[in-house]
Structure 1
């Protein structure tokens, strides 16, 4: 996946923002992983886990994740009006729902949506077909490993 990101960085002069539900206390480990794997540099947007959170599992499952990720995407789209965006996420979280909502508000700013899912995941594919029913099929695609992302985002 890092190879593809570097390819897009070079081909499109792409910049990267990494949005994750992970707590910011894990940032040193995330940064180490990105450096070791050769991901392009970019901003990291994480949430803060506090003792007020009931537990680690509920922290990851909270609706606050959706709200925060949506707010960050709005910030980028409102403050960088000259750029197109590629949204990459997982079917296992709320990324499809968040991205469908963002696309509805900024259809001309989203170049492509890529969602990672398991091979032969018919239930997952059906979920995506439903969530993305108002998004042209040419604007979204699934992938499995990252190495199967296209070299050309616009194909």
Structure 2
């Protein structure tokens, strides 16, 4: 039996498809001078396989954000992010490690591929250059469509990896309040958004490891749309948060995206992908209590016995949620995985130091970073 929700999802999906068809017809006539843009999302993998993804759009670059941007400038930038003119059916060429690979964009302009690095990768290197270009398409000015970027491969000497949520774990979003989330998303920029106190120093310590000379890869997973990718890149850079792949999701009105399980399904799929391309690494998982991170991470523990070193859950929810989280903590502990519900970053860092995950000498810096972020 069809429910009102099923009807709404079906209607909105049809409306989106019709709107895209109409937009594409108008777009070919009115926007012929709009430049092509390859948006690459940081690829990642292991010495045997690398996953690469991105999107092709026709739009002009956003202006560089500043802490002096007005309400209207931020709102305009948000509109430009979400009003994307995707380019379907074009061939994207990816040049990396001296080889070329191609993929064709889907109806939303996305492309993805898996490439195989050579056997002789430099042992102490994590980031490698990659070039993206469009075959048989040039800019309205006649120039080739090219974008240079980097991909990350976990070095063989990495001790562990880190998988972190973003919303209300790294970035203050108020994800438990729809109104606050909307206000921060639509009316802020990379300078006005706030990190949780001490996060940058803690993540730097995790990336460096217990002897501060290692490189432990960090992956950021969120159910936020890819449209916010540039904002997150700028935010991490401004706040000094270590660079790593950022795994978001498509914003559409498909039944899968609008279902109640979409958040859980997407994050779990991305975490599985990270684990699959790093079979040699154990992981530390970091999230918050506001949504489903404890449930998702407990499922990851069940599926991957022996691979999760620790789980840190930032307490951002009301007290009635705490008992649910404590039950999940007991489940994780049954698999010998410590899961902590922590009030702040310092408590998580102190526990990480006790496990040998970070250098204890970094704790004062994390405390200082927490104080500075609160000022």
TM-score (norm 1): 0.84
Q: CA deviation at 1:125?
A: 2.5
Change (3 A) 1:100 1:133: same
Deviation at 1:105, TM superposition (A): 1.0
- 1:107 CA displacement: 2.4
Greater CA deviation, 108-117 or 130-139?
A: 130-139
- The equivalences for 1:96-135 within 5 A come to 96-118=294-316, 122-135=319-332
Closer, same or farther in 2 for the Cα pair 1:3/1:77, shift >3 Å? same
2:248 corresponds to 1:49:
no
User: Is the CA contact (8 Å cut-off) linking 1:8 and 1:151 kept in structure 2?
Assistant: no
Q: How far 1:138 moved relative to its partner?
A: 5.7
**From 290, 295, 312, the counterpart of 1:92:** 290
Task: Give the paired residue count.
Answer: 149
Residue pairs, 1:8-87, within 5 angstroms: 8-11=206-209, 13-50=215-252, 52=253, 62-87=260-285
TM value normalised by structure 2: 0.37
Give 1 or 2: higher helix fraction: 1
**Which shifted more, 35-44 or 63-72?**
63-72
Structure 2 alignment gaps of length 5 or more: 1-198, 357-375
Q: Which has the higher strand share?
A: 2
CA RMSD of aligned residues (A): 2.3
Contact 2:294 2:325 in 1 (8 A): yes
- In the alignment, the residues of structure 1 paired with residue 348 and residue 329 of structure 2 have an alpha-carbon distance, to the nearest angstrom, of 19
Structure of higher CA gyration radius:
2
Q: Which runs of 5+ in 1 are unaligned?
A: none
Could you say which structure has the greater relative contact order, defined with CA pairs below 8 angstroms and 6 or more residues apart? 1
Change (3 A) 1:152 1:143: closer
